[in-house]
């Protein structure tokens, strides 16, 4: 199966030798030049990745559907999915080698990520004239999508796939119009899944308190910090080498050599600094959304992921930004109190998202389709 990403997005990078006519070019200069070239290659890989691809409706290529699926969100950009393409069917399976046991011990986020991929795949299939029917495959814990021919429809959600991103930055604090709220609500709604909207300043302050309490609990957890570190790509070279993980600039940090990034994490990585940033980001947001699926199991965690992806695509199509603030649902000791605060009672809140108007942030990469399609 041919891959759709440019080879450089996912293949290990071999730094080309730097040609130098002078002998006194220092090792430091060489490293800086290599860094500049990696950033250029990263930026080319990003441009090639985050755009629509041409397709032939008469011969839908499963690899192209999978490509669109991989542009979905995934926890820590782990891309914990494998795809199996059969006749008129694609199955999305969990890749358990990409688990994050510290932040996600029951694989809740992993299965939600499969839901995100499924939603992108469905939107792309519809654009290519295929209606997908989703079923949960309990024996394999996968998402089975069976296709039948349909009238092609390029939905606003499909058009927005290359625009969606997690924008971890301050928004402009403006309110959403009643019309915007109605559209976002209507798109994210699905049977059995609750989507709760918090827009008043008082609720945002309480939300900021929960997120801060979550940061405080997570930052003292060494396993959590070490797992997060293992998914951070401090510079473009690292991001290009793996095609996954959290590239520093995506999170508002500079592109730095690994040694410097590790040093910064050791001395500047603190819950206090994170809280300052998160509280300001929450206050700047137009709305906070809490997603709670119908039941606390894998099948319904997938539903929660689908719900987020639809919401985020709809928001992107309206020029709005989204970012997760999941700390209150990730820390088990906080989760039930948080559920009571948002009025969910004994139900599990799955995902927390903030929405608003703000700038585009740098983009993350993906592994090539050939790495995930059996
Ligand atoms: C289930 C799930 C949980 C996530 N949790 C967080 C989170 O708590 N904080 C955060 O900043 N991003 C979170 N993310 C966003 C991912 O880090 C992001 O999707 C990934 O890095 C790829 O970036 P992109 O969505 O901009 O393409 C989550 C994504 C998913 C699907």
Lowest-confidence region among 12-26, 105-119, 182-196, 241-255:
12-26
324 lines ligand 1 (CB under 6 A): yes
**Which ligand 1 atom lies nearest to the CA of residue 352?**
8
286 lines ligand 1 (CB under 6 A): no
Shortest-distance Cα residue to atom 12 of ligand 1: 324
Provide the mean pLDDT of the chain: 93
Shortest-distance Cα residue to atom 21 of ligand 1: 77
**Residue 208 is encoded by which pair of tokens?**
């900021």
**Which ligand 1 atom lies nearest to the CA of residue 112?**
1
For the chain, give the percent of residues with pLDDT over 90: 88
pTM above 0.85, yes or no: yes
**Which ligand 1 atom lies nearest to the CA of residue 168?**
11
| Per-residue pLDDT tens over the stretch 116-136 | 999 999 999 999 999 999 999
Please state at what angle helix 201-219 crosses helix 222-231, rounded to 10 degrees: 100
> 22 pLDDT band (50/70/90 cuts)?
low
Picking from 321, 334, 228, the residue whose alpha carbon sits closest to that of residue 274 is 228
> 48 pLDDT band (50/70/90 cuts)?
very high
116 lines ligand 1 (CB under 6 A): yes
76 lines ligand 1 (CB under 6 A): yes
**Which ligand 1 atom lies nearest to the CA of residue 363?**
26
Å from CA of 285 to ligand 1 middle: 17
- Distances in Å between the Cα of 330 and the Cα atoms of 72, 80, 209, 211, 299 are 20, 18, 15, 10, 18
Q: What DSSP string describes 168-211?
A: -S----PPPPHHHHHHHHHHH-BTTBEEEEE-SHHHHHHHHHHH
Give the 3-state secondary structure of residue 3. coil
Residue 73 has pLDDT above 50, yes or no: yes
Instruction: Spell out the domains of the chain, with CATH numbers in brackets.
Output: 178-356 (3.40.109.10)
For residue 35, what pLDDT is reported? Answer: 85
Task: List strand residue ranges (DSSP E) for the chain, in order.
Answer: 81-86, 89-94, 130-137, 142-149, 194-198, 232-233, 246-247, 287-292, 321-324, 351-356
Å from CA of 272 to ligand 1 middle: 21
**Which ligand 1 atom lies nearest to the CA of residue 165?**
26
282 lines ligand 1 (CB under 6 A): no
| Per-residue pLDDT tens over the stretch 208-235 | 999 999 999 999 999 999 999 999 999 9
Shortest-distance Cα residue to atom 6 of ligand 1: 324
For residue 27, what pLDDT is reported? Answer: 76
274 lines ligand 1 (CB under 6 A): no
| Per-residue pLDDT tens over the stretch 93-114 | 999 999 999 999 999 999 999 9
Å from CA of 245 to ligand 1 middle: 10
Mean pLDDT of 340-353: 97
Å from CA of 113 to ligand 1 middle: 9
70 lines ligand 1 (CB under 6 A): no
User: Kind and range of the H or E element at 256?
Assistant: none
Shortest-distance Cα residue to atom 25 of ligand 1: 73
């Amino acid at each position: 199966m041919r891959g759709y990403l440019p080879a450089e997005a996912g293949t290990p990078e071999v730094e080309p030798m730097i040609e130098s006519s002078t002998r006194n070019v220092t090792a430091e200069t060489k490293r800086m030049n290599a860094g500049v070239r990696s950033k250029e290659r990263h930026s080319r890989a990003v441009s090639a990745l985050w755009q629509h691809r041409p397709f032939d409706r008469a011969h839908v290529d499963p690899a192209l559907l999978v490509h669109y699926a991989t542009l979905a969100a995934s926890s820590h950009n782990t891309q914990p999915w494998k795809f199996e393409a059969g006749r008129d069917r694609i199955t999305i399976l969990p890749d358990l080698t990409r688990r994050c046991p510290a932040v996600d011990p029951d694989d809740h986020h992993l299965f939600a990520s499969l839901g995100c991929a499924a939603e992108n795949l469905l939107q792309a299939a519809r654009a290519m004239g295929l209606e997908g029917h989703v079923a949960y495959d309990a024996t394999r814990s996968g998402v089975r999508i069976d296709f039948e021919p349909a009238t092609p429809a390029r939905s606003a959600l499909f058009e927005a796939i290359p625009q969606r991103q997690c924008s971890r930055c301050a928004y402009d604090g403006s309110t959403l119009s009643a019309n915007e709220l109605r559209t976002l609500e209507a798109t994210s709604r699905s049977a059995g899944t609750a989507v709760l909207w918090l827009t008043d300043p008082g609720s945002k302050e309480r939300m900021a308190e929960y997120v801060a309490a979550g940061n405080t609990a997570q930052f003292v957890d060494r396993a959590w910090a070490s797992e997060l570190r293992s998914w951070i790509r401090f510079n473009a070279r690292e991001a290009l080498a793996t095609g996954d993980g959290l590239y520093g600039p995506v999170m508002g940090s500079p592109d730095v050599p690994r040694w410097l990034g590790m040093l910064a994490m050791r001395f500047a990585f603190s819950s206090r600094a994170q809280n300052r940033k998160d509280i300001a980001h929450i206050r700047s947001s137009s709305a906070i959304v809490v997603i709670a699926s119908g039941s606390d199991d894998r099948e319904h965690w997938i539903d929660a992921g689908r719900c987020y992806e639809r919401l985020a695509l709809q928001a992107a199509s309206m020029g709005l930004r989204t970012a997760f603030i999941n700390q209150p649902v990730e820390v088990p000791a906080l989760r039930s109190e948080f559920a009571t605060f948002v009025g969910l009672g004994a139900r599990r809140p799955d995902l927390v998202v903030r929405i608003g108007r703000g700038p585009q942030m740098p983009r993350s990469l993906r592994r090539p389709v050939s790495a995930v399609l059996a």
